[in-house]
Amino acid sequence: MSTQTLRFMRHANKPQANISQSTRQRWSVEDVEALFKLPFADLLYRAQQVHREHFDPNTVQLSTLLSIKTGGCTEDCGYCPQSAFNSTGVEDRKMLDVETVVTAAQYARQNGADRFCMGAAWREPTEEDMTSVVEMVKAVRGLGMETCATLGMLNDEQTEQLRAAGLDYYNHNLDTSPEFYGNIISTRDYQDRLDTLERVRKAGMSVCSGGIVGMGENLTQRAGLVAQLANMEPYPESVPINNLVKVEGTPLANVEDLDPLDFVRTVAVARITMPAARVRLSAGRQQMSDAVQALCFLAGANSIFYGEQLLTTGNPDVERDRALLDKLGMYPLADKH
């Protein structure tokens, strides 16, 4: 019997984790990598089992992401078209006003989204920025939608402001493993990201944190990202899995494409290691066929970014997404309520 099979059996016999448990299985990078290396059918079978223990497998949560402040970011993230270090043609635009954001949120809600995410391109918000964002959060909450924001690094005062405004989720991705992080970003330390997530937890908000695959990382480094997320106490309630969108003018524009089945494997491993999280298909869906997306849902994905655009990159339009869900016999979480 192979080592991989033994590891599979060992984990299969353990009770599944629950996000509310204070003591649960810790995932070593070696064990996560062993999951990645399982036969594809075995991996998806296990992921689907875990998924069905925690969720209705035929529902998907729809989130819409709006860029409330675009371009001119002072971070040097190698994948990002909004970085001031990268010549991608993205204009530096001032922050949207509250009325524009509310109109976009209303449109998203009418099209079936139940979570509205607001993203800003900067290293960290100023006091003036926070005043505007707090108004946006309150206004979107007033529509009856879940709210999420991604604003870069936060201090204790800022997390408390967002909590008091009613923010449900704060997104701050780890991007990749600690070992590979320096290949992608130099203007912010990995610990800076972890510190912001800790402040979000301390303030009582839910965490949305995931990463990007296909940036040139190897399998061990991909497993390192998942292990880092899965070993958080507790792990994130929402885990966006992004497939690198290669943008001309960024350092990663010519990196080798990730095999689509390796992306599906990443979704499955995230589902197994974080059973009660919403695993979201995020950037890169526009380049995915319906068949690949269907495999991702089978692997345990149960959330998507929904709409024509993410922050600055394209996204499958509403009609295509609705048609795909219909073909798969799936339906939005909002329709269930």
Catalytic residues: 73, 77, 80, 117, 148, 208, 280
- In a 13 Å sphere around the CA of 251, the CA atoms on its Cβ side amount to 13
Amino acid at 3: T
**Is residue 234 reached through a cis peptide bond, with omega within 30 degrees of 0 on the bond before it?**
yes
| Spatial CA neighbour of 64 closest among 331, 317, 310, 266 | 310
Q: Which two tokens stand for residue 174?
A: 């780890």
| Spatial CA neighbour of 332 closest among 25, 111, 86, 107 | 111
Residue 312 contacts residue 90 (beta carbons within 8 Å) = yes
The 3-state DSSP class for residue 149 equals strand
> Measured between alpha carbons, how far is 130 from 252 in angstroms, rounded to an integer?
32
Residue 185 contacts residue 211 (beta carbons within 8 Å) = no
Pairing mode, strands 331-332 and 278-281: unpaired
> Measured between alpha carbons, how far is 106 from 140 in angstroms, rounded to an integer?
8
Amino acid at 128: E
